[in-house]
Chains A and B, each alone.
Chain A
Amino acid sequence: DVKVTQSSRYLVKRTGEKVFLECVQDMDHENMFWYRQDPGLGLRLIYFSYDVKMKEKGDIPEGYSVSREKKERFSLILESASTNQTSMYLCASNTGTGVLYEQYFGPGTRLTVT
């Protein structure tokens, strides 16, 4: 089974702190994604990586950066956390080949910024 793990299920940080969210997948997937999920807004793409050290901005990249130094690991960084970044953060991955584009999601990290 594909497994996508995230470093924390719950996280509480203070405004202005630098926050790291880690995601690891064990299926040798080329693509990895970070989403945030807010009530009534669905899942919104923050950043996407299609290879090691390669990244693309998603729909809401402001206030976030990412790092992909190894194929299996994709990190989301909040340079200076703000209260409007309180949200559920979901990591996902999929293969970059073939005709089935299914994304596999991690369990999510619920981040609260106070």
Chain B
Amino acid sequence: GQQVMQIPQYQHVQEGEDFTTYCNSSTTLSNIQWYKQRPGGHPVFLIQLVKSGEVKKQKRLTFQFGEAKKNSSLHITATQTTDVGTYFCAGPHGGSNYKLTFGKGTLLTVNP
């Protein structure tokens, strides 16, 4: 079935450094979603990208969808301790946009 690969698995940064996580699919995705899960919490939706080459920003977070719609990235500028958590990308599962296949996530830790 559909697989979404996410790297790196872990990233430790100093507060103020930038962070990027990458998501890749072997097949073209109709859309991609990003979620954040704080330690001890549950995944919370961040954004959905639909268009080829799309770039969206949320304050210090920049999300990109590749031109071929097979890859995506999340970049955080000047990380803060509040950014700590696991970031997941997710693509459509089995041809349905309403079901998701999740990447394994990138755990971000930030040293103050």
Residues of A within 8 A of B (CB): 31, 33, 35, 40-45, 48, 50, 58-59, 90, 92, 94-96, 99-108
Q: Is the CB of B93 within 8 A of A105?
A: no
Q: Is the CB of B98 within 8 A of A101?
A: yes
- We find that the number of chain B residues with CB closer than 8 angstroms to chain A is 24
Q: Is the CB of B31 within 8 A of A101?
A: yes
Interface residues of B in 45-71 (CB under 8 A from A): 45, 48, 50
Q: Is the CB of B1 within 8 A of A105?
A: no
Q: Is the CB of A102 within 8 A of B42?
A: no
A49 and B80 alpha carbons, distance in the complex (Å): 38
User: Considering only CB atoms, which chain A residue lies closest to B50 in the complex?
Assistant: A99
Looking at the complex, which one of A42, A102, A103, A107 makes contact with B105 (CB distance below 8 Å)? Answer: A42
Q: Closest Cβ of chain B: how far from A7's Cβ, in Å?
A: 15
Residues of chain A within 8 A of B6, CB atoms compared: 42
Q: Closest Cβ of chain A: how far from B49's Cβ, in Å?
A: 11
